[in-house]
Homo-oligomer: A and B are copies of this chain.
């Protein structure tokens, strides 16, 4: 304990990481998980502890989603960034748990808004318990997140995460307004994903630096890292909806297409469309009139427009920018893991 207090630099990275599953030894995600295994266990314990409520439906519904195979990517960013910045306290576990609760709350509300029936290969909470419960348990988790942040004790950190929460909601509303509109500009689309997805990645990383007492430049660099990583992550997600193997995706290929979602690949194809192919996109996306063969035709149009390769290139560029934002930090195992995570997120697309 004393040694830990004397040195602001964590030494967890010198310990052997938790054994990786067979065949996953080279998985950068598992390497990061191993590096922060102790903190991640603490986050998982705190998640379980803090979703308890005298109202039994709350932990029941929350556990379905939280225990349902999430990667814990966002809280891992908080933990790894705090560790990279030499944080030696305990508040990062509370903040990482708060970040996961905010994420979970938005997923619960998203699934109601999108009327989704599957997430991570399992029935959604709104399908199992109804929209009403999903809305209210989302509100509960959101409130719990703020309780945890208050306990973490930093008003500055609370400011960053409450700003992120407002931006996420703005992004979701903006997305709702661009729904099924193929005249959405690529800039607006990037604004949507920066807000609805990347803002939480940015805040999750930034508060890791803040809790470690780093200056604004360091905190902003990690915010930039998270923002770029989040954009890359979402673009790859959009791509995988068309190109992934279904077993990897945990949902069905073409879900976004069938729901008429306007994502970057579609906008790239629309931008290069002829009158004839524009009429196709208008029918399948705007009017939602689809026949069973339309996904095949869409895939064909997307490929011909280089929509997949251009989306991938954009995601890669964001990934490189994310890595560049880490340059100001000294090399250590956590920084290497944060770099690996970028490659992992982008390489999911191959």
Residues on A facing B (Cβ under 8 Å) = 53-55, 57-58, 105-106, 109, 112-113, 131-133, 135-137, 139-140, 142-144, 146-147, 149-150, 153, 155, 158-159, 162-163, 165-166, 168-170, 172-174, 176-177
Q: Which residues of B contact A159 (CB under 8 A)?
A: 147, 150
Q: A135-B113, A136-B176, A158-B158 are in contact. Are A147 and B166 (CB under 8 A)?
A: yes
Q: B113, A173: Cβ atoms under 8 Å?
A: no
Q: Could you say which of B106, B166, B168 contacts A144, with CB atoms under 8 Å apart?
A: B166
Within the assembled complex, what's the spacing in Å between the Cα atoms of A142 and B136? 13
Shortest Cβ distance from A175 into B: residue: B136
In this complex, the member of A112, A147, A153, A166 whose beta carbon has the largest number of chain B beta carbons within 10 angstroms is A166
Among A135, A137, A163, max chain B CB count under 10 A is at: A135
- Minimum CB–CB distance for A230 against chain B, Å: 18
Report the bound CA distance from A135 to B155 in whole Å: 27
Residue of B nearest to A132 (CB): B113
Are the C-beta atoms of A57 and B155 separated by less than 8 Å? Answer: no
Measured in the bound complex, the distance between the Cα atoms of B146 and A105 in whole Å is 16
The answer to whether B143 and A173 touch across the interface, beta carbons within 8 angstroms, is: no
A146 touches B165 (CB 8 A): yes
Within the assembled complex, what's the spacing in Å between the Cα atoms of A73 and B292?
55
Q: Do A113 and B142 have beta carbons less than 8 Å apart?
A: no
Instruction: Please give the distance in Å from A10's CB to the nearest CB on chain B.
Output: 26
Least CB distance from A326 to B in Å reads 28
A158 engages B150 (CB within 8 Å): yes
Query: Are A170 and B140 in contact, CB atoms less than 8 angstroms apart?
Result: yes
Min CB distance A50 to B, Å, is 10
3 smallest CB-CB distances across A and B, nearest first, come from: A140-B169, A143-B166, A143-B165
Within 8 Å CB of A137, what residues of B?
169, 173
- Once A142-B142, A146-B146, A158-B150 are accepted as A-B contacts, the answer to whether A136 and B57 lie under 8 Å apart by CB is no
